[in-house]
Amino acid sequence: MSTNGNAPLLEVEHLKLYFPIKKGIVFDREVARVHAVDDVTFTLRDGETLGLVGESGCGKTTLSRTIMRLVDQTDGSIRFRGRDVSRASRRELAPLRREMQMVFQDPYASLNPRKRVGQIVGMPLRRHGVSPEQAERRVRELLDRVGLAREHVNRFPHEFSGGQRQRIGIARALALDPRLIVLDEPVSALDVSIQAQIVNLLDDLQDELGLTYLFVAHDLSVVRHVSDRIAVMYLGKLMEISPAEELYTKPIHPYTAALLEAIPIPDPRRNRARTRHVVSGEPPNPIDPPSGCVFHPRCPRATEVCRTVEPPLTQYAGDHLAACHHPLNVSADELEAARRSDASPLRAGAETPRATVSATD
Amino acid sequence: MTTDPVLTVRDLAVSFATDDGVVQAVDNVSFDVSAGEVLAIVGESGSGKSVTAMTLLGLTRSPNARFAGTAHYGATELVNASEEELRRIRGAEIAMVFQDAMAALNPVQRIGRQIAEQIQAHEDVSDAEARDRAVALLERVGIPRARERIDAYPHEFSGGMRQRVMIALALSCDPRILIADEPTTALDVTIQAQILERFRELREQTNAALILVTHDLGVVADIADRVAVMYAGRIVEHGTLDEIFYDPRHPYTWGLLGSIARIDKPRPPRLPTIPGLPPSLADRPQGCHLRPRCPHEFAECAKVPPLEARGTRAGHADRCWLSPEQKVALREVLPGEIGLRAKEHAAATEAPA
């Protein structure tokens, strides 16, 4: 699945998206901003799957929609195969849209209830000038590919279950042979046994078609099964990016550790045996994010420096990045070798944890 | 745990007449719940778990609905109780926590008023006293600054806080049974962990029975004492928490346990699945409902298997015709791993034997 070392397919640099909050009767004036995505930098390599996880309101969906240009960013840049997408005009975007497709979370809301399956899946083809006969052939092929029957082409979305609808959404995304598919919580509306079917389908499609996925989810257990790397977001910021397995065995950011601890394990004995520290409180309001590290009000390890200095994304051994002044699971040697990553937010401090840890411990 | 059940459900059946025919949502469901006990009813969408729970409070009554069977709560039989009797019991004796707190709370009424209203519907107390009790309840479910926030509207609360308000509302009259329908499904994991922690504390403080309806086996493993697994309207397996997780006897339970994505085990190259889709409740397969999806089906499966103890333990019952020895042999897909095989795989491995 993984093709590490490939050229980056997508480069996101210092991406910001602030939603203005306006007030006023005649003239709107901006009174505040929701910091939905706040200085996020990452790359997506050709053929890999990057999982993007976080709790509701952390900005993961907004980030994925910004990449698709469904909303316009406030600042920063998005490059797809070296071309700047973030400032492209509608006309310039059209050919790029063939290569970047999206599968939405809610298979009930994302399919037009008045259109037949054939029309839904065929729409992207017709938009991009494929002849009706060719489009029809392609639609049947696609239905076959995602595990639906060819006869389903004349049915309406309401005749399908949630899992089948999600297959229709995937077929539509595949229609134009994209390179990148952004999957926004593609299985979270589905039952567990159906989730597994869809995850396996996505896996097969990636192997066969060499797709690159950005897999957005709140469920850390599902993300683990599909991802090569995983990025953890909190309050609009990246907290940690790590090779998939390492995130579970060696989380560096206390927020990631808290997320992992909160997941109930479907094994009663193991569940009874493990000691859990339930993180208290709730994510703060993104209109007025905390100073310094945004996680500090809920963090059990927070100290003075966390309240004042935003931690830089620090690069540890094995391509593992985390933005924390008091990292977990890193040895003294690893700390010594760590360096500030270029992906750090612009406002973040210059010091990697090495200096601050020795000062506080 | 006491042995005297507070609620005894026997042969409960619920069907709805629809344009597509009669939908048998719940079929022959029986269970008991005792004080201080957590019973989890587990199943996927359309398994009848929510209809079962809602029927206990008369919330599924409609001109199209047909009921059979009994649910005894003390001297009251809930399935055929009058609306008046139900009104006395609802909220006071048996309370419910719904999945979607935003939809369950009144959006145009302050939350304190909503809690006080329920208290005053069942008890003769003054406005001031009802309000004080509402504050105390909100504090008990972990809402900070309860006295200030009692006059807030539901939309001013986050999802986790609203779910706490729902729980406070349910607890307002010290119910003996709390029914929670997917109480944490809409919440983030860190908030879910906080809410489950609350349920655990409340159970120790109040000794109320908790019926937890959920699809999440992680939540079940975290909090349940006993588990009933439902499929297509029927309970297919029923046992203690450890029996269900470590000695599951029904192939559907194997499939459910096998198909969960887990963080505590090595990542398998592929997630095991249950092939196919659940049946339509208007057109259920004859005999065992899992038959079309089950790799282990044989001639006997055309008959409906009764829910009965087929092993050595009396409380552990299932609806599967396979012998206990066959079950133990078939449920292991890999050493130590429980799951439902793919049909082709089962055929290939079982044929020589």
Counting every residue, how long is chain A? Answer: 361
* Residue B190: pLDDT band with limits 50, 70, 90: confident
Measured between beta carbons, the chain B residues lying within 8 angstroms of A199 are: 261, 271
Cβ-defined contact of B245 to A266 (cutoff 8 Å): yes
DSSP A190-244: S-HHHHHHHHHHHHHHHHHHT-EEEEEES-HHHHHHH-SEEEEEETTEEEEEEEH
* Residue A1: pLDDT band with limits 50, 70, 90: very low
* Residue B260: pLDDT band with limits 50, 70, 90: confident
With 60 as the cut, is the pLDDT of residue A356 above it? no
- Mutation to test the B interface, candidates A191, A205, A226, A298, most B Cβ within 10 Å: A191
- Quote the pLDDT of residue B348: 64
With 80 as the cut, is the pLDDT of residue B350 above it? no
* Residue A111: pLDDT band with limits 50, 70, 90: very high
Percent of chain A with pLDDT over 70: 96
With 80 as the cut, is the pLDDT of residue A145 above it? yes
Q: Average pLDDT, stretch A94-104?
A: 91
Measured between beta carbons, the chain B residues lying within 8 angstroms of A152 are: none
Cα B221 from Cα B227, distance rounded (Å): 9
- Mutation to test the A interface, candidates B149, B188, B195, B343, most A Cβ within 10 Å: B188
Cβ-defined contact of A279 to B259 (cutoff 8 Å): no
In contact, B285 and B294? CB cutoff 8 Å? no
Cβ-defined contact of A224 to B263 (cutoff 8 Å): yes
Q: Assess A149–B contact: CB distance below 8 Å, yes or no.
A: no
ipTM: 0.82
Q: Greater confidence, A121 or B194? A: A121
In contact, A50 and A226? CB cutoff 8 Å? no
Question: How do residues B98-156 score in pLDDT, each as one tens digit?
Answer: 888 888 999 999 999 999 999 999 999 999 999 999 999 998 888 888 898 999 999 98
DSSP B272-340: ----S-PPPTTSPPSSSTTGGG-TT--GGGGSPPP-EE-SS-TT-EE---S-HHHHHHHSEEETTEE-P
Residue A149 burial by CB count (10 A; 0-12/13-18/19+): exposed, middle or buried? exposed
Q: Average pLDDT, stretch B71-77?
A: 94
CA atoms within 13 A on the CB side of A294: 26
Q: What is the b/e burial string over B116-132, where b = at least 16 CB atoms within 10 angstroms of the residue's CB?
A: bbbbbebeeeeeeebbe
CA A268 to mean position of chain CA atoms: 31
Q: Assess B120–A contact: CB distance below 8 Å, yes or no.
A: no
User: Average pLDDT of chain B?
Assistant: 90
A278 min Cα distance to partner chain B (Å): 6
Q: Average pLDDT, stretch A190-208?
A: 90
With 90 as the cut, is the pLDDT of residue B225 above it? yes
Residue B174, amino acid:
D
Rounded to 5 degrees, φ, ψ at B72 are -95, 125
How many Å is the Cα radius of gyration of chain A?
22
With 60 as the cut, is the pLDDT of residue B52 above it? yes
- Quote the pLDDT of residue A198: 92
Rounded to 5 degrees, φ, ψ at B117 are -60, -45
With 60 as the cut, is the pLDDT of residue A358 above it? no
Measured between beta carbons, the chain A residues lying within 8 angstroms of B196 are: 264
B124 min Cα distance to partner chain A (Å): 36
- Quote the pLDDT of residue A2: 43
Residue from B297, B309, B329, B320 nearest B231 by CA: B320
Question: How do residues A68-85 score in pLDDT, each as one tens digit?
Answer: 999 999 999 999 998 899
With 50 as the cut, is the pLDDT of residue A330 above it? yes
Cβ-defined contact of A193 to B44 (cutoff 8 Å): yes
